Chains A and B, each alone.
Chain A
Amino acid sequence: MNAGSELLSVEHVSVSLSGRAVLRDVNFKLAPGELCALIGANGSGKTTLLKTILGLVRPQSGAVRMAGASGRVSGMGYVPQKISFDPNLPLRARDVVSLGFDGGRLGLPLPSRERRARVDQMLNAVGATGFAERRLGELSGGQQQRVLIAHALVRRPRLLLLDEPLASLDVRSVAEIVLLLRRLATEYETSVLLSAHDMNALLPVMDRIVYLANGSAVAGKPEEVVRTEVLSRLYGYHIDVVRVHGRVVVIAAEAPDEIHAAIARDPIHTAEVP
């Protein structure tokens, strides 16, 4: 990636929330059309980092720069962490995508051929045409995720942020959503940054990953980052990256008690290798 061609630069970002340091000197760049996974255990600061990039959280130091951006949230689409939708809400998948087009605007929406066309096209792009007229709350987790991706992409943002889009999906839906994101990133030249606590399904298709642990991050190509010496330095104690049966397993050799506890709580570190 040449200097100057980046879409997003996260420059030495540190964030404290109510006195607690959540992110420390996080530094990485994203090029146009790149697919990037933000990997880390629960509580490692993934959501905070995404919200900082979105402009919803202000960093104590450092900066987030979008190439050519002016407004606070311009040029970004966002899919928040798992939301449970009320099946009693009279709102079709199509309406959700339509709200992505102009949901922030005031006044009653006049019928618009442009909106209709963009919504139809987006529903088609994410494979949601078949359930476009059904209620959001009655769709499966994978279907809802497709609709939310369409909601976030319908304004053609240059950067799409997704917070744990694969959590609570079945294995098949995970594979489908990952492939969908890969295709959309290429087709729409949108950079995609998604967070996940499990890199399982992600490593084979990611251009780069940002690995977060205890608020610090290391970024690079997957094969550069998921290595014993790199992750040991990040965690601050020795860990092993072991490849077993085509999967990557990250194991703490002799971890302090609290680490054992954390790993037991959240067994995150398995990944498939291409």
Chain B
Amino acid sequence: MSMFTGIMTNTWIAGTLVAIVAGVVGLFVVIRRAAFAAHVLPLSAFPGAAAASLLGVNSLAGLVTFSGLGVLGITRLERWGRREVATALWLAASLGLGTLLLSMTGQYSQEVYSLLFGEVLGVSRGAMISIAVLSIVAVATVGVLFRPLLLDTVSPELCQAAGASSRRMELAFLGVLALSTAMVLPVVGALMVFSLMVGPASCARALTDEPHMAVLLSIALSLVTVWSAIALSYFSNWPVGFFVGALGALSYAAGRAYRRFVH
């Protein structure tokens, strides 16, 4: 079987969609300093997939539900001033709940493994359609809100003065982040969503001073990360999560180095 035929075709398409969404949304995660949310949401969404497989419904529905609940949790925590202890316990409890729910399904260890570290090779045709729809929704929402969202990132007050609600921008952004988390998670894994969103995007914002170019670069770097991870995983038989994590960290470091030494 070649790297580009059969079941691998879906892998490449899903990987590409996931990379585009992570690139677009990830840039806003980085510039809005929402790394906290990007870290919390995938872990709080993790039990969603397990609950869905237990109930026999589409796992994306479970992920979207739980990451939506995660958004509520985050806004609550923001109001309380981000209690670190509460957050840490909540995340650990989420992971625990996920493993409990998975232990009730048939293939415990394999499911846990693929949800935490990604299972890029197992994208079914049905999942492909959901992934495609979620990608379009996420990217279109960022496209429509691009200017007010950017303005709100610069200053919520300037956003208000331009007649756009800063609160709505924040909620819309968290909503998009929850959706993209739900779709990126099954492919790269709950532990690697953060790497894919933050690594390429923080490199992109270091390489250019221009916001539109930063979005395009972020997509490009995210694509390179995902494509390389799939190819390397295919040839080495090492888990794709390893490569996503490593390449994410590498692009972050490259961006820092560029800013420090070249710029």
Tally of chain B residues near chain A (CB < 8 A): 31
- Tell me, in angstroms, the Cα distance from A85 to B147 when the chains sit together: 17
Within 8 A of A (CB), among B129-175: 143-148, 150-151, 153-155, 157-164
Chain B residues lying within 8 Å of A107, measured Cβ to Cβ, are 143-144, 146-147
- Tell me, in angstroms, the Cα distance from A85 to B155 when the chains sit together: 8
Q: Which of B8-16, B102-110, B120-128, B206-214 contacts A (4 or more CB under 8 A)?
A: B206-214
Within 8 A of A (CB), among B193-224: 204-206, 208-211, 213-214
Chain B residues lying within 8 Å of A78, measured Cβ to Cβ, are 157-158, 161
Tally of chain A residues near chain B (CB < 8 A): 35
Say whether B147 contacts A106, CB under 8 Å.
yes
Asked whether any CB of chain B lies closer than 8 Å to the CB of A104, the reply is yes
Question: How many whole Å from B93's CB to the nearest CB in chain A?
Answer: 33
Chain A residues lying within 8 Å of B145, measured Cβ to Cβ, are 106
Q: Which of B150, B160, B210 contacts A56 (CB 8 A)?
A: B160
Chain B residues lying within 8 Å of A100, measured Cβ to Cβ, are 162
Asked whether any CB of chain B lies closer than 8 Å to the CB of A102, the reply is yes
Asked whether any CB of chain B lies closer than 8 Å to the CB of A72, the reply is yes
Question: How many whole Å from A148's CB to the nearest CB in chain B?
Answer: 8
Say whether A91 contacts B146, CB under 8 Å.
no
Say whether A92 contacts B148, CB under 8 Å.
no
Say whether B31 contacts A90, CB under 8 Å.
yes
Say whether B205 contacts A89, CB under 8 Å.
yes
Question: How many whole Å from A33's CB to the nearest CB in chain B?
Answer: 22
- Tell me, in angstroms, the Cα distance from A54 to B158 when the chains sit together: 11
Q: Which of A89, A105, A133 contacts B154 (CB 8 A)?
A: A89
Say whether A95 contacts B210, CB under 8 Å.
yes
Asked whether any CB of chain A lies closer than 8 Å to the CB of B82, the reply is no
Chain B residues lying within 8 Å of A85, measured Cβ to Cβ, are 154
Asked whether any CB of chain A lies closer than 8 Å to the CB of B76, the reply is no
Chain B residues lying within 8 Å of A151, measured Cβ to Cβ, are 158
Question: How many whole Å from A116's CB to the nearest CB in chain B?
Answer: 14
Chain B residues lying within 8 Å of A56, measured Cβ to Cβ, are 160-161
Chain A residues lying within 8 Å of B163, measured Cβ to Cβ, are 71-73, 104
Say whether B148 contacts A103, CB under 8 Å.
yes
Chain A residues lying within 8 Å of B153, measured Cβ to Cβ, are 89
Asked whether any CB of chain B lies closer than 8 Å to the CB of A109, the reply is yes
Chain B residues lying within 8 Å of A81, measured Cβ to Cβ, are 157
17 A-B pairs within 8 Å (CB atoms) are namely A73-B163, A78-B158, A78-B161, A80-B161, A89-B153, A89-B205, A90-B208, A90-B214, A91-B154, A91-B209, A95-B211, A96-B154, A100-B162, A103-B151, A103-B158, A105-B148, A109-B146
In the A-B complex, list the 8 residue pairs whose CB atoms are closest, starting with the nearest.
A104-B162, A80-B157, A78-B161, A103-B151, A90-B214, A90-B205, A104-B163, A104-B164
